[in-house]
C-alpha cells in the first residue's frame, strides 16, 4: 500500500483560500508540497539574530526539510505530522497511512 499524506494550507489573510489536499504516493505528496510552499518564506530566529544584512526569512521548502529530517517524507510514520508557520499562512503535512 502506498503512503497517503494530507496537506493543509490555512491562509493567514483569507480563509476562502484555505486548502486541504489528500495525496496517494510519495511523488504526488512531493509535488503537493512544492505547489503549496514554492515562493513562501518563514521567519528564522537564528538568521534574524546574525549581524549580516538579512531580513531573517528562510525559504519554506528549506525550512520544511529541516523539520522533516532532511526532506525524507518516506521516513515519516503514520500519524506523524509537521507544521510550518509561513509568512502568508500555516502549512501542515500529515502522514495518513
Q: How buried is residue 95: exposed, middle or buried, by Cβ count under 10 Å (0-12/13-18/19+)?
A: buried
pLDDT for 92 equals 94
52-57-63 Cα angle (round to 5)? 120
pLDDT for 53 equals 47
Average pLDDT per consecutive 10 residues, the chain (97 residues; last block may be shorter): 93 91 93 90 67 68 78 84 90 94
Instruction: Enumerate the domain spans of the chain.
Output: 4-95
Amino acid at each position: 500500500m502506498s503512503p497517503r499524506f494530507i496537506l493543509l494550507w490555512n491562509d493567514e489573510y483569507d480563509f476562502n483560500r484555505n486548502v486541504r489536499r489528500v495525496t496517494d504516493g510519495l511523488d504526488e505528496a512531493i509535488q503537493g508540497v512544492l505547489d503549496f510552499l514554492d515562493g513562501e518564506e518563514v521567519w528564522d530566529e537564528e538568521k534574524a539574530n546574525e549581524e549580516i544584512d538579512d531580513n531573517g526569512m528562510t525559504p519554506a521548502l528549506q525550512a520544511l526539510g529541516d523539520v522533516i529530517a532532511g526532506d525524507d517524507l518516506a521516513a515519516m510514520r503514520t500519524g506523524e505530522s509537521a507544521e510550518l508557520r509561513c509568512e502568508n499562512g500555516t502549512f501542515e503535512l500529515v502522514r495518513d497511512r
